[in-house]
Structure 1
Amino acid sequence: MRISVRSRRTALAAFAGGTLVLSGCGSSDNSGSSGEVTLGFVNGGDTEFHSCLQKAVEQTAKTENAKIFTANSHQNSTTELSNIEDMTSRSVSALIVQTVNVDALKGDIAKAKAANIPIYLTSVATSDVNDILGAAVVDLGKLGALDAGWIARDAGGKNVQVGVIAGAPGAASDLMVGGFTKALPSTAKVVANQPGMFNPVKAQDVAENMIQAHPDLQYAFVASEDMALAARKAFDAAGKKDVKIVTANGTDEGLAAVKDGRLSATVANSAMSIGQTAVKNAVGLLAKKKVDKIANIPLLLVTKDNLNKAPQYCPE
């Protein structure tokens, strides 16, 4: 399912700030003037997701014989546009963009269009796909619904209290939380919904306050595994080891926590798959090959019962 761009929403990223970081690697110093495929990757932030995504993009570019330039916008839309401008000055064949804020995409696309450089998006897609080369899309609403389904099955029709620790207000978090809450049964009441800002320290503080205000809490949906593990510490310290946590990512640490019971379920959303798909499909589309313009990244609800089926999250 394609995820449409909506105003006032941020893409899959943690809240962070910083300055431009630009690097380049590849098989030659030619930026594409002789026909070689050159890609510019503009990353959105500094979380584990972003670092794994970039590693996948860089490694896949090598296997596709494409030169790659990379930049990081550090969750700043102004920096993102500057990065886009820098990439267009390098005359790249196409831009791969993990946007920090979908509001920024309009300006990004306009700037790239003016330079006749197509954009390939990761995680989200624009409403009008004619504006882009393509996209590797994550159905974040479905991600939240998968976690809600686990709670529904585990609760077995009983009346239960559920807490939500969201990420940063914006597209990624809003879409996940929206999908989660809509899919919950009527017997599951959301008693608290607060942002953890994709920050484990903040998430632990939110969890501490949540369990104090709602001592009968039975389940928690947390928007990322690093926040979920911080929440686990807070619940355990409050003597609430029975609160069951569902989350998302599918990192090695997250899977280990599912295995030992600290987390009840996670939805695997492989950063490696997103990066690999983005590069391969961007190169294919540039070459007019028969590849999907909009590629949907598979999601898997992972529990103790199917840990061996979880996809690799980050390249080695």
Structure 2
Amino acid sequence: MAIRKSIVLFMSLILALTLFVVGCGTDKGNKLVIGVALPDFDDKWLSYLHDGMKEYQKTQKDVEVIYVDAQNDASKQLSQIENFTLQQVDAIVLVPVDTVSAPDLVDKANQANVPIVVVNRQYKGVDKATAYVGSESIKAGLMEMEEVAKILNGKGNIAIMNGQMGHEAQIKRTEGNKQIIKKHPGMKVVLEGTAEWDRAKGMNLMENWLQSGKKIDAVVANNDEMAIGAIMALEAAGKLNDVIVAGVDATPDALGFVKEGKLKATVFQNAKGQGKGGLETAIKAAKGEQVEKFNWIPYELVTKNNVDEYIKKWQ
């Protein structure tokens, strides 16, 4: 009799456990799961993009978001995308480590019939993704250089600080810079080099340029971190008053330099706006809704005249 009671109790427990597991599965089934593949959690600008996603996520019911960090390793990012497809996530948001590996990542998602939204980094063939969310890099280069040309009255020697060579932003921002320089016969590029988006490398490159003895009227950097590095080197050499410095991104650090008058111009790239837009588009695609193929987040010029309104955006 005791044995029969034990068997009945055991079977009841098994049934209860089964119902619990099925119940949990149903709850999960009601949730949308979005996989977000980011290139580098430690990158300052990308951390703001990440924040934009997390802030938008809080406004969404029944949406789970899984964030993974590729640590700037393209092969690691490929395996992360493969894992997302194996987990059968409802959609993927991808900020590619580089634009060379990006087409393969999009193909993996397409083969698994998982909607994939590429954010921030554009490349040839990005239209094979479900959607793209970001800003047109060439416009940042045009806006930045137009402001520098205005300050210099269309005359002067320009040094261009490139980001990581081959990155879409490096190519297009520099192209935008050079398009404006071509319009002004009194302006020319006298120095050009890469500081790989990095402040310390920007400082080192500027020190080398100062030692070259070439006359420089303006340093135009592909991003703010390199521009800040250039400012630090110019300040240390007592030359900052002689050289105009401009950057791109309008990060909180850079806005402080604009307010002090050390950075003459930057171009606001809305990191949080791109993050929010990327996740929002992925959620729509996961629900089977129609999404725009290209979703542009506009750039905005920042100078000392309007810097306070951009400082408020980060507070």
TM-score range relative to shorter protein: 0.7 to 0.9
1:193-239 CA deviation, whole Å, 9 max, x = no partner? Answer: 10001121111110001122144211001122122111111112222
Q: 1:311 to 1:286 in 2, by over 3 A?
A: farther
Match of 2:93 among 73, 91, 96: 96
Quick one: percent identity of the two aligned structures?
Answer: 24
Matched, 1:43 2:42: no
User: Residues 58 and 32 (structure 1 numbering): CA distance in 2 closer, same or farther, change over 3 Å?
Assistant: farther
Deviation at residue 156 of structure 1 after TM alignment: 1.2
| Runs of 4+ more than 6 Å apart | 29-33
> How far apart are residue 72 of structure 1 and its match?
1.1
Supply the AA of the counterpart residue of 1:55: D
Q: How many equivalent residue pairs?
A: 287
TM-score using structure 1 length: 0.84
Q: CA deviation at 1:96?
A: 0.3
> Which residue number in structure 2 is paired with residue 9 of structure 1?
none
Distance 1:267 1:82, change over 3 A: same
| Counterparts in 2 of 1:280 and 1:182: CA distance versus 1, 3 Å | same
Question: What CA deviation, in whole Å up to 9, does each residue of 1:263-301 have, x standing for no partner?
Answer: 000000021110011111221233344653311011011
Structure number with greater Rg is 2
User: Would you say 1:230 and 2:237 are equivalent positions?
Assistant: no
Cα distance in 1 for partners of 2:263, 2:137 equals 20
Q: Indicate if the aligned counterparts of 2:115 and 2:282 stay in contact, CA closer than 8 A.
A: no
Superposed counterparts of 1:187-266, under 5 Å: 187-241=186-240, 242-266=242-266
Alignment of 1:229-308 (within 5 A): 229-241=228-240, 242-289=242-289, 291-308=291-308
What is the one-letter code of the residue matched to 1:114?
A: Q
**Residue 251 of structure 1 aligns to which amino acid in structure 2?**
T
1:56 alignment partner, one of 32, 49, 52: 52
CA deviation after TM superposition for structure 1 residue 312, in Å = 6.7
Q: Distance in 2 between matches of 1:308 and 1:142?
A: 23
Displacement after TM superposition at 1:52 (Å): 1.5
Shift in CA distance, 31/42, structure 1 to aligned 2, threshold 3 Å: farther
Kindly indicate whether the alpha-carbon contact (under 8 Å) linking 1:251 and 1:313 is maintained by their aligned counterparts in 2.
no
CA contact (8 A) 1:32 1:92 kept: no
Separation in 2, partners of 1:49, 1:312: 17
3-state SS in 1 of match to 2:164: coil
In 1: Cα distance, 2:133 partner to 2:176 partner: 19
Conserved? CA contact 1:204–1:230, under 8 Å: yes
Aligned pair in 2 of structure 1 residues 298, 110: CA closer, same or farther (>3 Å)? Answer: same
2:45 and 2:300 map into 1 onto residues whose CA distance is: 17
Q: Which moved more, 1:78-87 or 1:124-133?
A: 124-133
CA contact (8 A) 1:64 1:280 kept: no
Give how far 1:164 is off: 1.1
Cα deviations across residues 32-52 of structure 1 (Å, max 9, x unaligned)? 962421111000123101212
The residue matched to 2:209 in structure 1 has which SS? helix
2:157 to 157, 161, 176: 161
In the alignment, the residues of structure 1 paired with residue 213 and residue 270 of structure 2 have an alpha-carbon distance, to the nearest angstrom, of: 33
- Aligned CA distance change for structure 1 residues 235 and 119 (closer, same or farther; 3 Å): same
Q: Any idea what SS the aligned residue of 2:88 has?
A: coil
Distance 1:109 1:157, change over 3 A: closer
Separation in structure 2 between the aligned mates of residue 216 and residue 32 of structure 1, nearest angstrom: 67
1:101-121, CA deviations, whole angstroms, 9 ceiling, x for partnerless residues? 112122112211222211101
Residue deviations 1:221-266 (CA, integer Å, cap 9, x gap): 1122122111111112222112110101111111111011110000
Offset at 1:131? 2.2
CA contact (8 A) 1:52 1:271 kept: yes
Q: CA deviation at 1:64?
A: 2.0
| Alpha-carbon separation, structure 1, partners of 2:304 and 2:34 | 39
Indicate if the aligned counterparts of 1:30 and 1:36 stay in contact, CA closer than 8 A: no
TM-score (norm 2): 0.84
Q: What is the aligned partner in structure 1 of residue 71 from structure 2? A: 74
User: In the alignment, which residue of structure 1 is the partner of 2:142?
Assistant: 145
